[in-house]
Amino acid sequence: MTDAGRRNVRDLRRANRARLLRELYFSGPLSRQDLISATGLSSASVSNVAADLIEAGVVVEAGAVESEGGRPRILLRVDTERFPVVGIDVGETRIRVERFDLGLHEQASADIPVDAARPDPGRIVAGIVAGLGAVTAGAARVLGVGIGVPGIVQHEPSAVVHGQTVGWDALPLEELLRAHTDLPLFVDNGAATMGQAELWFGAGPATDSAVFLLIGSGIGATLIADGAVLRGSTTSAGEWGHTNVEIGGRRCRCGARGCLEAYVGAEAVIARYHETPGAMPLDARNEEQALARIVALAQGGAVVGGGAEGTAAAGGGGAAGGGGAAGGVAGAAGGGGAAGAGRAAGAADGVTAAGAGGVPGAGAADAARGRSAARGVGAADAGGAGAGSTAGAAGGAGAGRGARAWGGADARDAAGSAGAVGGANAAGAWGAGSEASAASEAARAVLEETALRIGVGIANLVNLFNPRRVIIGGWAGLTMAPLLPSIRDAAQAHALRLPFSQTSIELGALGPDAVARGAATLPVAAFLASGGEGLAPGAARSAS
């Protein structure tokens, strides 16, 4: 056989392994008969490939099911407990590093603060290396490391980051990291990794047309068309934050004026609040806490010292931001729900408190189902006891529709019997008019404009791309979850009727660590594409 012939046989075998492995990863456990139907491979091919994967330790038997008139069918599944991967979210206020098993169950995590207004590349690299060392100490061989970053990522062939808003001009991030690790590295834009996480495990499984919005210090989007990510000729598609919404408007961090990010990114929302008459000092340690306190003020709650990360803790009668918000920011589920249990962006991670420990179940498909169930209706206009809407609003039994325009009857209903922002003791929660303090009025005004501009930005996406779903994530997007009904109203008012009528606007299901979790899917995707053959240490790897 010629060398070309041998390569063709190897390539075909690898393609068959990859097809089988992906089916088991996303839909397993499955029998060999199930795999024949799902993949279209012959019985002999499935048997041979399955035997190879079992011998390699990638696939294991997972019990048996009865068959009609024959022997029980042996089920197969991916051994997700092996081959750990690491996902890293390089944010503008901190670096989040998490180690997962192959099924994306979290095993270890570390947070490294980022203090500089324009993050210094040397400190970023040092922070990534420190976090990587912390989460991999004593771990089995790590399959690969995925990194989500702020900025446009190009592969030349190693990853170079163009982060105009943070002062990174063609930063050779992969090359800088290569001096410290020989692990396979995969680098992509943070909005893209968040989108992939939601697509695999969260709000978007089986979605072939969607837009995933990341709202944090800055904002971005991942565009899904015909089931594939739209990247553009320079991989910069999805820079939603730098679409112009105000000719000659506010100065954006990118240097232009009137960008959407200059109005609705967390940094911009906080700045606009401080510029508004009646605003009060927020006394916050970071952007996450500052934004949460603005949300608490808009809801009429008293801003007092909260838990480890945040304010506005939800649940049974406490003041907004009261003690017990164990890391919650703009906290969440009413009626005695999982108040303030979430990390960083508050009870947005009430999702993880409620379902499957915040990690995928026995298989990836189970994870998606578990998370969907965990998040209740997944929107600020959730109703019913313990609905547990993400990051914020809906209260306890009989909670009504969400915080429409931060006042009036709908808003009072949204407070619910157990209180979206501390319940009975938060006097005048969601109050209106003269009852509200000047600071609360200022917060409401800023957030009303924020909801309007986000809604108009979404309307533009609906008109341009006609997505079936628009999913809002990112720590700031989840913290501002009570704005969701107003965002929907604004989008409806500015979008064409037909496409909008077929589009849902909802919150992401994975909470504030979706960027890191999505980054971890990058080495997992490469592993699946390789047919489970592994990734060569030290190789220059990049996101597909």
Please state whether 136 falls in left (phi above 0), alpha (psi between -120 and 50) or beta: alpha
pLDDT bin (cut points 50, 70, 90) of residue 532 is confident
SS3 353: helix
Query: With 50 as the cut, is the pLDDT of residue 358 above it?
Result: no
Domains 85-200+513-529 and 203-397+440-509 share a fold: yes
Distance CA 388, CA 373 (A): 11
Distance CA 453, CA 459 (A): 10
Question: Could you give the residue ranges of the DSSP H alpha helices within 209-265?
Answer: 261-264
DSSP string, 37-101: HHH---HHHHHHHHHHHHHTTSEEEEEEE--TTSPPEEEEEE-TTSS-EEEEEE-SSEEEEEEE-
Query: With 90 as the cut, is the pLDDT of residue 25 above it?
Result: yes
Distance CA 268, CA 253 (A): 10
The superfamily in CATH containing domain 203-397+440-509 is: ATPase, nucleotide binding domain (3.30.420.40)
- The vertex-168 CA angle with 165 and 170, nearest 5°, equals 125
Please state whether 405 falls in left (phi above 0), alpha (psi between -120 and 50) or beta: left
Q: What is the mean pLDDT of the chain?
A: 75
pLDDT bin (cut points 50, 70, 90) of residue 535 is low
Q: What are the CA-CA distances from residue 516 to residues 90, 147, 204 (Å)?
A: 8, 7, 17
For residue 56, how far is the Cα from the chain centroid? 32
Residues 224/208, Cβ–Cβ less than 8 Å: yes
- The vertex-321 CA angle with 320 and 326, nearest 5°, equals 135
- The vertex-294 CA angle with 293 and 297, nearest 5°, equals 85
Tokens of 218: 């800055």
- Helix, strand, coil proportions of the chain in percent (round to 5)? 40, 15, 45
CATH number for the domain running over 85-200+513-529: 3.30.420.40
Q: What is the pLDDT of residue 241?
A: 93
Reported as a single tens digit per residue, the pLDDT across 74-88 is 899 999 888 899 999
- Give pTM, 2 decimals: 0.72
Residues 379/460, Cβ–Cβ less than 8 Å: no
Residues 486/165, Cβ–Cβ less than 8 Å: no
Tokens of 212: 């995933």
pLDDT bin (cut points 50, 70, 90) of residue 264 is very high
Residues 422/306, Cβ–Cβ less than 8 Å: no
For the segment 7-31, the average pLDDT, to the nearest whole number, is 88
The one-letter amino acid at 98: E
Strands (E), 91-131: 94-100, 106-113
Residues 86/145, Cβ–Cβ less than 8 Å: yes
For the segment 255-278, the average pLDDT, to the nearest whole number, is 95
Q: What is the pLDDT of residue 154?
A: 82
Residues 308/327, Cβ–Cβ less than 8 Å: yes
Q: What is the pLDDT of residue 6?
A: 59
Class of domain 3-78: mainly alpha
For 207, what's the count of Cα atoms within 13 Å in the CB-facing half-sphere?
28
Reported as a single tens digit per residue, the pLDDT across 291-328 is 999 999 998 864 443 333 333 333 333 333 333 333 33
Domain-by-domain residue ranges, the chain? 3-78, 85-200+513-529, 203-397+440-509
Residue from 502, 472, 499 nearest 486 by CA: 472
